[in-house]
Structure 1
Amino acid sequence: MTPADHKMVSDLMETYFEGLHQADSAQLRKVFHPQLAYVCATEGDELYLDLETYMSRVDGREPPVKRGDPREEEILEIAFASDRLARVSARMTMMGRDFHDLLTLVRYGAEWRIIAKVFSYVPRKD
């Protein structure tokens, strides 16, 4: 893929991380596809949501920034399967949990958008 595509996905991830940290559904809507599949794969907490249900959950949570949680995240891998399909593996810590996200991105017009967010978490060890 082109350096421009890599930059677009990196910028998308910055918006994603900041949107989660701020619990800002308006910001997160900029990175999610309208047909988002949200899947929690943590044993005992399996969950399958659509975009609107997930955004209402984000709107109802105390933002990690207000809880005093520092932003801790890392993009582990960005992989392009084609000019219309990409995958991002990322990790982040918030709300007392360590998360590992596997994000599938597709082209949505001229932009990249997250069509599937599949993740698991473990309680944070301090």
Structure 2
Amino acid sequence: MKSADEVEIDGLMGRYFDGLYHSDSGVLRTVFHPELAYVNATGGNHEFMDLEAYMTRIDNREPPAAHGEKRSESVDRVTLTGRQMGLVEARMTMMGRDYQDLLTLIHTDAGWKIITKVFAYHEQED
């Protein structure tokens, strides 16, 4: 049986995947901490953003859902260190790319939030 924290994190990850697929910054703001650190580690060209810059990017892109694009995602591992922090390893395929995410979680008064998103992707082969 899952703990209350595990159930909450399952919901958080569902909103995370839905928010990305639908390019919905309103939904994504419910999963990210206001002091989010975003790092794209693809190809050694590290790109860093804060929450507002990332939400602007989300708002300006066409949602994969708008094309009925195929979507797949998985949470490969959740590791909690006490009740204050954790790590989620996740994968998502969309926009012709396979993404791998390392998401650091912290527990706040508002529940679990993603405070760091470090990810890389590779283009899918046709």
**What TM-score, normalized to structure 1?**
0.95
Shift of 1:70: 1.9
User: Could you list the runs of 5+ residues in structure 1 that have no partner in the other structure?
Assistant: none
Secondary structure at the residue paired with 1:43?
helix
Distance 1:45 1:11 in 2: 32
2:32 is matched with which residue? 32
Is 1:104 paired with 2:104? yes
Is 1:80 paired with 2:76? no
Shift of 1:44: 4.8
Mean CA deviation greater in 67-76 or 96-105:
67-76
Shift of 1:68: 2.2
Residue type matched to 2:10 in 1? S
Distance 1:83 1:55 in 2: 28
Within 5 Å, which residues of 2 pair with 1:48-63? Answer: 48-63=48-63
User: Could you list the runs of 5+ residues in structure 2 that have no partner in the other structure?
Assistant: none
1:5 is matched with which residue? 5
Show CA shifts across 1:27-81 (max 9, x none): 0000000000000001154210000000000000000101221220000001101
Is 1:20 paired with 2:2? no
Secondary structure at the residue paired with 1:52?
helix
**What TM-score, normalized to structure 2?**
0.95
Q: What is the aligned-residue identity percentage? A: 49
Distance 2:56 2:35 in 1: 15
Across the two proteins, how many residue pairs are aligned to each other? 125
Distance 2:45 2:62 in 1: 20
